[in-house]
Amino acid sequence: MKAKAAVFREKGVDLKIEEVEIDNPQPNEVLVKTVACGVCHSDLHFVKGSILGPVPTIPGHEPAGVVEAVGSAVRSVAVGDHVIACTSMFCGRCKQCQQGRPYLCMDRRACQRKKGDTPRISLDGKPLTQFADLSAFCEKMLVHESAVVKIDDDIPLDSASLVGCAVTTGVGAALNTAKVKPGSTVAVFGAGGIGISIIQGARIAGAKQIIAIDLVPEKLDIARKFGATHTILGGPDSPDGDPVKAIKKLSRGGVDYAFDAVGLTQLSQQSFYSLAPRGLAIIVGAIPHGQKLELDPGHFYVEKSIIGCFMGSNRFHIDALDYLDFYKQERLDLDSMISERLPLEDINEAFKMMDGGKVTRTVITFD
Ligand SMILES: [Zn+2]
Ligand SMILES: [Zn+2]
């Protein structure tokens, strides 16, 4: 069947709305009519060339929609179900999956079509490789069953879509990766979609102090609405001065957890240096390929740690439903995270806005 999609061909060239051909589901696949898809920094990194992958492709990996068809072996969803999707699909059989870490699945190929099969998506008669195995900036998505989770019909799909990446990554970074303790102190560098999600995760976990750091004053105001107890304006001319010193002063000696929500080596360093003894720094944002992170080893004497975080260490089929329960209980605010809704045709505009650094989350909505 035909579907309209935003196709990316090369760095520096705007995405173009084109018609692609979507195949019918194989036994373990689900066809979803896309209703909403958040625009993530990983999409932006990809179209700017700082993450590499096969082209042409259709970006987009934070979607929600309605199931249109299912393969013969699919049991977890049915036609008409509302679903959200995440790129953390999994085989269920490899060592990481068996140890309860499906987000680190070592056999992702099990969730893709076999070589020689008809491609899930083709463009101009040629196979198109799915971005994040989802390719969600498209009217329809054909994905592996493990990529989708059924959600309640009364949850608005635009808000729910954010759980597909930003919320799973950020809330999961606080709850799963860092395991933030009640009464602890937290610093979050970067108050975009991921940073706001970390702040909410830390608030849900019961942190007593949550310090948000960003270069944009408006984003600090937003951070307070989502649970930041203190804010620090970053940048060389900031009246708040050096963020590390400011954090140490506010927290009386350093925080228990510090998150780099952006993925910049300077912020990773500052996260590490802001910690109290025994503190934990978590690198959540993706540091661009080829860069090196340098750390003053003296900080290890007081038993500080620094760790990575991939997709909020998620078990999507459990976490997503927890997060949507938090949403229903008004403990997790998804609605206010959406700063803009745009049609697919405005995808390039959405990327420009995100690059400008002022939006929390833009969601592409489909009719
Ligand atoms: Zn993402
Ligand atoms: Zn696996």
Residue 50: which pLDDT band, with cuts at 50, 70 and 90?
confident
Q: Looking at the structure, tell me whether residues 305 and 281 fall in a common domain.
A: yes
Average pLDDT over the chain reads: 96
Ligand 2 centroid, distance to 132 Cα (angstroms)? 16
Q: Tell me how far the alpha carbon of residue 194 lies from the centroid of ligand 1, in angstroms.
A: 9
CA distance between the termini of the chain: 17
> Is 154 inside any structural domain?
yes
**Ligand with minimal distance to 286 CA:** 1
Say if residue 149 is in the same domain as residue 171.
no
Are residues 150 and 180 part of one domain?
no
How does residue 265 score in pLDDT terms, banded at 50, 70 and 90?
A: very high
Residue 324 lies in a domain: no
Together in a domain, 94 and 210:
no
Q: How confident is the model at residue 196 (pLDDT cuts 50, 70, 90)?
A: very high
Domain co-membership, 84 together with 126: yes
pLDDT at 145: 98
- Split at pLDDT 50, 70, 90, the class of 335 is very high
Please tell me the predicted confidence (pLDDT) of residue 69: 98
Same domain, 157 and 76: yes
CATH for 298: 3.40.50.720
**Co-location of 249 and 278 in the same domain:** yes
**Omega before residue 156 within 30° of 0, cis:** no
Residue 153 and residue 200 in one domain: no
pLDDT of 268: 98
Query: Does pLDDT of 358 surpass 80?
Result: no
CATH classification of the domain holding 18? 3.90.180.10
Q: List the structure tokens of 188.
A: 């979050």
User: How far, in Å, is the centroid of ligand 1 from the Cα of 165?
Assistant: 5
Measure 39 CA to ligand 1 centroid, in angstroms.
Answer: 8
Domain ranges, residue 180: 167-311
Confidence of residue 175 (pLDDT cuts 50, 70, 90): very high
**212 inside domain:** yes
Q: Catalogue the active-site residues.
A: 40, 42, 45, 61, 165
Look at residue 118 in the predicted model and tell me its pLDDT. 96
**Cα–Cα distance measured from residue 12 to residue 2, given in angstroms and rounded to the nearest whole number:** 27
Ligand nearest to the CA of 111: 2
* Predicted pLDDT of residue 52: 85
CB atoms within 10 A of CB 311: 20
Q: Are residues 6 and 131 in the same domain?
A: yes
- Whether 131 maps to a domain, the answer reads yes
What is the pTM (predicted TM-score) of this model?
A: 0.96
Encode pLDDT of 269-318 as tens digits.
999 999 999 999 999 998 888 899 999 999 999 999 999 999 999 999 99
Q: Which residues contact 363 (CB under 8 A, 6 or more apart)?
A: 36, 37, 38, 39, 158, 161, 162, 338, 340, 341, 342
Is pLDDT at 360 greater than 90 in this prediction?
Answer: no
Dihedral sign, Cα of residue 54, residue 59, residue 63, residue 67:
negative
Residue 326 CA to ligand 1 center (angstroms) comes to 21
Q: How far, in Å, from the CA of 41 to the mean position of ligand 1?
A: 6
Same domain, 131 and 194: no
Query: Quick one: what percent of the chain has pLDDT higher than 90?
Result: 94
- Does the residue 317 lie in any domain? no
- Ligand closest to Cα of 103 equals 2
Quick one: 159 and 172 in the same domain?
no
Ligand nearest to the Cα of 144, by number: 2
CA distance 211 to 223: 9
Cα 263 versus chain centre, distance: 13
Number of domains present in the structure of the chain: 2
Mode of pairing for the β-strands spanning 305-308 and 29-38: unpaired
> Do residues 204 and 125 share a domain?
no
Which positions ≥6 away from 335 have C-beta within 8 Å? 156, 159
Give the separation between CA 37 and CA 63, rounded to whole angstroms.
4
CA of 307 to the centre of ligand 2 (A): 22
